[in-house]
Amino acid sequence: MKFDSPHFDRIRVKPDEDRRLRASCPSCDWPGCGEAATHRAPKGRLRENEYWRFCLAHVRDYNQSYNYFAGMSDDAVAQFQKESIIGHRPTWKIGMNGPINGKARRGSTGVDAGFSNTSDPFDVFGELGGRARQDFEARHPEGRVLRNAERKALETLGLERNATAHEVKMRFKTLVKRHHPDANGGDRSTEDKLREIIQAYNYLKSVKFV
């Protein structure tokens, strides 16, 4: 039995790497070189996923002279670098769907025309494109779709989701009088509650609810 046989290399602690390379590697692609091609190098732009196979010495020579942007103008290089930030993928503004045949596929509401008549109970499209939300509310004033933050603000004021702006203002005034320290003989035990009420009311004002 020959203990230096390559059949034992898979179980050796330190197999003969040179022998394994000689047995498994093709010859170097460098003209006139017959060494084992232990390294690969890209063939260049427009030939992605294609590689040369070189030995260590020649892959170093190749890398020193390699230029991916060879043949490109300065403007083309700058455009390539800009697009590389987004992975060379198309982009569009929030609230729009991707372009089809160079034109944005949008309806009057600012979202995909194919979804213009789609029921949107959770306001998915409205949250993305403000005009879609406004259009929905104009068509369904009795069922105004609320954001989660608006719903929580109304709950803080103790109101239902269908509360009117007048009801919000009146409830705010009532709660401020109830929890303000001056109305409780200087008692500050409800200051945190008062702060939550004020923050909820200010948020509803910021989103034009009141």
Strands 39-42 and 51-54, bridge-based pairing: antiparallel
pTM over 0.75: no
Would you list the domain boundaries of the chain?
6-65, 99-143, 148-206
> Which sign does the torsion angle of CA 78, 82, 85, 87 carry?
negative
Q: How many residues does the chain have?
A: 210
- Per DSSP, which regions of 3-144 are E strands? 39-42, 51-54, 99-100, 103-104
Q: Residue 44 corresponds to which tokens in the numbers above? A: 């260049």
pLDDT in tens, the chain (210 residues): 566 666 655 666 565 555 555 556 788 999 999 888 888 899 888 888 899 999 989 999 999 888 888 888 888 888 888 888 877 777 766 655 555 554 544 444 444 555 555 666 655 555 544 554 555 455 444 555 678 888 899 999 999 888 888 999 999 999 988 888 887 777 888 888 899 999 999 988 888 877
Q: Residue 147 corresponds to which tokens in the numbers above? A: 């954001």
Tell me, which fold does domain 148-206 have in CATH? Helix Hairpins (1.10.287)
